[in-house]
């Protein structure tokens, strides 16, 4: 039964559009930052904390690798911000500093919200641009 879910999940990710994949990466990073925050203060949970911070770092690395650096200054700025986020996660883990994860969590939530809104606006513009074509098609059918 678990392998069926794994296959579904894999297919879902493989067929998701680029915008959805970006949001999934943010969701993963946010989820694991939140879980890692629960691990601070308990020395017996350092291994778990490190595991979750690493998963959040993997998601941010995916976001970095998805950037198209040829499209302009925004991509370069995002790259620098993602690099900063990664460094803060490493520092948080090494120095046992929960506040650094809280800081990057704030950035990740804000960035995810911005991407979500941008993706929604693009899809709405796409639908609005195609609406007259669909109306004309409906009239000629």
Minimal CA–CA distance to 24: which of 36, 39, 35, 14?
Answer: 14
Distance of CA 76 to the CA centre of its chain: 17
Q: Report the length, in residues, of the chain.
A: 141
Question: Per residue, what are the HEC states of 80-132?
Answer: HHHHHHHHHHHHHHHHCCHHHHHHHHHHHHHHHHHHHHHHHHHHHHHHHHHHH
Minimal CA–CA distance to 93: which of 141, 44, 30, 37?
Answer: 37
**Whether 101 contacts 53, CB under 8 Å:** yes
Give pLDDT tens digits for 95-133.
999 999 999 999 999 999 999 998 888 888 776 655 544
Q: List the chain domain ranges.
A: 2-140
The residue among 53 and 125 whose pLDDT is bigger is 53
For the whole model, what pTM was predicted? 0.77
Q: Compute the distance between CA of residue 116 and CA of residue 50 in angstroms, rounded to an integer.
A: 28
Using DSSP, state whether 40 is helix, strand or coil.
coil
Q: What is the mean pLDDT of residues 29-50?
A: 93
Task: Return the CATH fold of 2-140.
Answer: 1.20.120
Give pLDDT tens digits for 63-95.
999 998 888 899 999 999 999 999 999 999 999
Minimal CA–CA distance to 90: which of 59, 39, 56, 47?
Answer: 56
Map tokens 């995002």 to a residue. Answer: 78
Map tokens 């195609």 to a residue. Answer: 130
Q: Which DSSP symbol is given to 79?
A: H
Distance of CA 24 to the CA centre of its chain: 5
């Amino acid at each position: 039964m678990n392998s069926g879910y794994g296959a579904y999940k894999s297919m879902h990710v493989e067929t998701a559009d680029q915008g959805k994949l970006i949001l999934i990466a943010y969701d993963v990073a946010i989820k694991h930052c939140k879980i890692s925050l629960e691990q601070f203060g308990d020395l017996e949970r350092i291994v778990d904390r490190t595991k979750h911070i690493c998963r959040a770092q993997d998601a941010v690395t995916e976001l970095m690798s998805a950037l198209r650096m040829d499209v302009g200054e925004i991509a370069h700025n995002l790259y620098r911000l993602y690099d900063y986020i990664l460094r803060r996660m490493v520092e948080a883990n090494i120095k046992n500093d929960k506040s650094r994860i809280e800081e990057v969590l704030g950035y990740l939530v804000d960035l995810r919200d911005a991407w979500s809104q941008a993706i929604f606006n693009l899809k709405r513009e796409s639908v609005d641009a195609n609406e007259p074509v669909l109306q004309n098609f409906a009239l000629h059918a």
